[in-house]
Amino acid sequence: MPGFEFFGEEERKQVNDVLDNGVLMRYGFDGMRNGHWKAKELEASLRNVMKVQHAQLTSSGTSALTVALAAAGVGAGDEVIMPTFTFVASFESIIAIGAVPVLVDIDDTLTLDPQAVKNAITAKTRVIMPVHMCGSMAQLKELKQICNDHNLILLEDACQAIGGTYDDKPLGSYGHLGCFSFDFVKTITCGEGGAVITNNKEYYLNSDHYTDHGHDHVGNDRGAESHPFLGYNYRISELNAAVGLAQIEKLPRFLELQKQHYLILKNELAKVDGVTFRRIPEAGVPNYGFLNFFLPNENAARNAHKALGENGVDACFYWYDNNWHYIKKWDHLKNLKSLGRLPQEIKTQLPDYHKQDFSKSDHWMGRTISSLIKLSWTEEEVTARANKMAEVVSHFV
């Protein structure tokens, strides 16, 4: 991670196919394309890799989440349960459709705590949205049972976890809907892009129409297509899809490299007394995009993270202080800072996150350090990194 480390002739060929025919839009202009339909080809590849019946590309991971929620009929005043540790896009996508993000605690999986989810369910809850942060998954069996018990939708935000599995199913395919991001720093990248996957035909058709201004895509005359409902422009371009088409062919190699590098780092850090690791649910296999480990307390983690940087160990993250990924710094959400008036349902129903007790999340995030796993490391480089990390961290446990 990320896939841009291995850009090469494959990506150039796919992009040049698009540039040669000049059709950058995924719809229409059939006669000019010379048989090139990159978005359709990438959707077919996603269906195959993710073992699902339907895949819909979008312009980003954020738009994928927005489209998935809308496709499932989620709207104003509906509540969506999500974790305190994620990327801001999770609550942005919920607010974009007028729904209410209900944040709950994480546990040592660094994802949704099922008991916290149960405690947060109200008559207005429509969706449980686990976020498979840093390459590993939520406790999906437990969350799916909760959804079944309460007639809720399970929407997997797998934007950071493509290639991982749970119960032998690709992450994103276990729930009713799954979403991916293909932005520039993801395991496979389109530059910008995302996708919704599902086995539900209604959700798929809704996604297909919603991403393209409500076009029903019936027939060969785009101008004659009808609009069954309102939609927006969340389309991916052929150029972006072309990059992704080359990248998805490389996914098995990327996952193999990530696992190799991950295990070298983990095995060395495991020798340090006092270092423990993020819990991976029993039925799960991560995509190995990050190694997440715990130190005994917040002070140790802060100091160790600082020392790692000072000793030349790059790409390590202390999420507890991160502006983008943890609720502690999300004042724009807590204060509902918006350029325009927000729906009344959001203003009325949003919990007061200034006062909410997230000490259980703080317990885990305050102790967590994450190391990005790079694809381009040589064996010598990753071994040297592992040794240096273990040496530095040993001074703080």
Cα separation, 44 vs 98, whole angstroms: 32
197's CB contacts (< 8 A; 6+ apart) are 46, 47, 50, 52, 54, 55, 56, 172, 173, 177, 178, 179, 180
314's CB contacts (< 8 A; 6+ apart) are none
Residue 234: how many CA atoms within 13 Å on its side-chain side? 29
* The total number of residues written for the chain in this structure: 397
In order of 58, 156, 177, the CA distances from 171 in angstroms are 18, 8, 10
Tell me, letter by letter, the H, E, C secondary structure of 127-161: EECCECHHHCCCCHHHHHHHHHHHCCEEEEECCCC
SS3 53: coil
Q: Which of 38, 144, 186, 250 is catalytic?
A: 186
Confirm whether 347 is a catalytic residue.
no
Residues known to be catalytic: 186
